[in-house]
Structure 1
Amino acid sequence: MVTAASRHGTTEAIAREIAEVLAEHGVEAVVRSPGEVDAVDPYEAVVLGSAVYAGHWLPPAGELVERCGPALAERPVWLFSSGPVGDPARKMVREMDKDPVELPEVREAVHPRDHRMFAGRLEREDLKFPERAALWVFRGLEGDFRDHDAIRGWAESIAGALGASPGRHSPAE
């Protein structure tokens, strides 16, 4: 299962991209929002992600860990965060690229195999007025900064860890 807490859809899109790559390698993957997940028992492995705002994961991701922490710790888990936007040479953007505050606690609870931070996307039309106003002050943060090669490469490494063969396609294809 691939699950991600997303405010404007970008982190959910990353989750769908990860699931797509897993499927391309013969790993059956479903995408669920964290709020839809009552139990992880039906899944052999979990990829859990969240958008990061002001250094924090969104509450639904943390709530999933609280609900299912012991069961998550019994299976392979990979974590990802989505957050930094803008030119990585800017100090403010480098500050966004830090691990979320909750990550040490989440790591302790679920013992993940890996955590990755991926750049995100920020589009004015997705934002509420106060967020749009902030873009006037903090220029250069708007746009799509996702690195799809990095996302796909990480998902391929997960598929490999799950015993999938490179280039193997799912039976539905």
Structure 2
Amino acid sequence: MRVLVAAASKHGSTAEIAAHIATALRGGLPSGSVVDVAAAAEVTDATSYDALVLGSAVYMGRWLEEARSAAERITSKPPRSVWLFSSGPIGDPPKPAGAPAEVSGIVASVHARDHRVFAGRLDRHRLGLAEKAMVMALHVAVGDFRNWSEIDAWAGEIAAELRQPVAG
């Protein structure tokens, strides 16, 4: 079994989620399975993989261009199984709630089995000047709101589904 976990990440938080998912999958898949991790911009062809987990940070309610482009590149030949995730809501409870606007179209185009939205992290030290100004003006919550047990549980669901025999 070969699985690719790829993500578009602006400040590293979403890449950390992708790496965490990959680690969890390695522990949940049969011996000999290969789980690779890549930046979404590097995903040009996923046909050599049995499954793809593709994620993106969400800014201004949208996936990053690198993730949207990766999804577009695999649309004509997606792997057998595709899962999608978004990272970005912050606060407690995380806001904004709900999936980014274009994700339903991406889910349909790559025939994704599931899409999850995970809370993100906002670290002022990693932001550019314009981003810092926006965070201050909007009084945005700062901190790490990622729920690692929720991410682990989802990776476990993916691993369980991949362990099932392929029909036909």
Length-normalised TM-score, structure 2: 0.89
Distance across 2 between alignment mates of 1:133 and 1:43: 42
| Amino acid corresponding to residue 30 of structure 1 in structure 2 | D
Segments of structure 2 that go 5 or more residues without pairing to the other structure are: none
Q: Look up the match of 2:125.
A: 125
Length-normalised TM-score, structure 1: 0.87
Q: Look up the match of 2:12.
A: 9
| Amino acid corresponding to residue 132 of structure 1 in structure 2 | K
Name the structure, 1 or 2, with higher relative contact order (CA <8 Å, separation 6+). Answer: 1
| Amino acid corresponding to residue 25 of structure 1 in structure 2 | G
Alignment pair present for 1:61 and 2:72? no
- Corresponding residue to 1:43 among 33, 45, 49: 49
Contact 1:22 1:28 in 2 (8 A): no
Task: Name the one with the larger strand percent.
Answer: 2
Q: Look up the match of 2:156.
A: 156
| Amino acid corresponding to residue 59 of structure 1 in structure 2 | E
Stretch deviating more after TM superposition (132-141 or 55-64): 132-141
Stretch deviating more after TM superposition (103-112 or 11-20): 103-112
Segments of structure 1 that go 5 or more residues without pairing to the other structure are: 165-173
Contact 1:87 1:140 in 2 (8 A): no
* Alignment of structure 1 residues 1-173 onto 2, 5 Å: 1-26=4-29, 27-72=33-78, 74-88=79-93, 93-94=94-95, 96-163=96-163
Distance across 1 between alignment mates of 2:111 and 2:72: 14
Percentage identity across paired residues of the two chains: 44
**Aligned-pair Cα RMSD in Å:** 1.4
Tell me how far 1:104 sits from its aligned partner.
Answer: 1.8
Moved beyond 4 Å, runs of 4+:
none
State how many pairs are aligned. 158
Q: Look up the match of 1:167.
A: none
